Amino acid sequence: MAPVKEKIVIVEDEPNIIKLMNTVLSANQYDTILSGNGADARSLIASHCPDLVILDLGLPDIDGLEVIKFVREWSQLPIVVVSARMHEYEIVEALDAGADDYITKPFGTGELLARIRSAIRRTRIRSPGDGTAQTGLFKAGSLTVDFDKHRVFIDGEDARLTQIEYKIVSLLAKYAGKVMIYDYILVELWGPDAKGDNQILRVNMANIRRKIEKNPAEPAYIFTEVGVGYRMIEGD
């Protein structure tokens, strides 16, 4: 069974470079979402909940630093800057704004892939209080959430959740037994623009229940607290 692909938003306005990045990342089993300006990038990042962002600073509408600051207001998802700016103060400015790594143009594709792997790996081993990253297993009855493999299993079989479905389940499992309000889940996974839009959450939850519950109408693992949010059953 093919592993779930990690999703990367590429923010770059030079056609040749974005084409190169897209080709290299797709060939290395990443899902890519492409953006050519800062305004579009902010919307895509907030709505698609990617695993990583590759960001050029010299965008046609706003400075890439504004994109970094926007993301850091609500998320710790890794950001790798790829920019022609190579003065030390410019690199320091981007890192201080919240970028995880910085590559100057021109760059080698091998280096780019290594930096991506490193940034994603660092995100996954952050402390449990940072985002939804966590390690180990959560078990409740026939349900197992494997935080290291980013997989959810039912009776030992992969539930085949999408990336966003996994992130919802892992967030609830992290706080098992506690009610997670709708807006908290939305902001944590989709960004501040999604606040109050419960429809996207309801659709994903319906899909999750079809995959992990024997009877989705009478859930045994994730309960709806009407008008408030969702609660994962406490672990074994």
The confidence score (pLDDT) of residue 7 equals: 92
Question: Span 137-148, mean pLDDT?
Answer: 92
Question: Quick check: 131 pLDDT over 60?
Answer: no
Identify whether the C-beta of residue 52 lies closer than 8 Å to the C-beta of residue 116: yes
137-232 topology per CATH: Arc Repressor Mutant, subunit A (1.10.10)
Question: Quick check: 150 pLDDT over 70?
Answer: yes
Give residue 222's region: left, alpha or beta (phi > 0; psi -120 to 50).
Answer: beta
Question: Quick check: 187 pLDDT over 90?
Answer: no
Question: Span 65-92, mean pLDDT?
Answer: 90
Question: Quick check: 1 pLDDT over 60?
Answer: no
Mean pLDDT of the chain: 87
Residue ranges of domains in the chain = 6-124, 137-232
Question: Quick check: 65 pLDDT over 90?
Answer: yes
Give CATH for domain 6-124: 3.40.50.2300
Reported confidence tier of residue 143, pLDDT bands at 50, 70, 90: very high
Cα four-point dihedral sign 126, 131, 133, 138: positive
Identify whether the C-beta of residue 77 lies closer than 8 Å to the C-beta of residue 52: yes
The confidence score (pLDDT) of residue 216 equals: 93
The confidence score (pLDDT) of residue 129 equals: 41
What's phi and psi for 34, nearest 5 deg? -105, 140
Question: Quick check: 221 pLDDT over 90?
Answer: yes
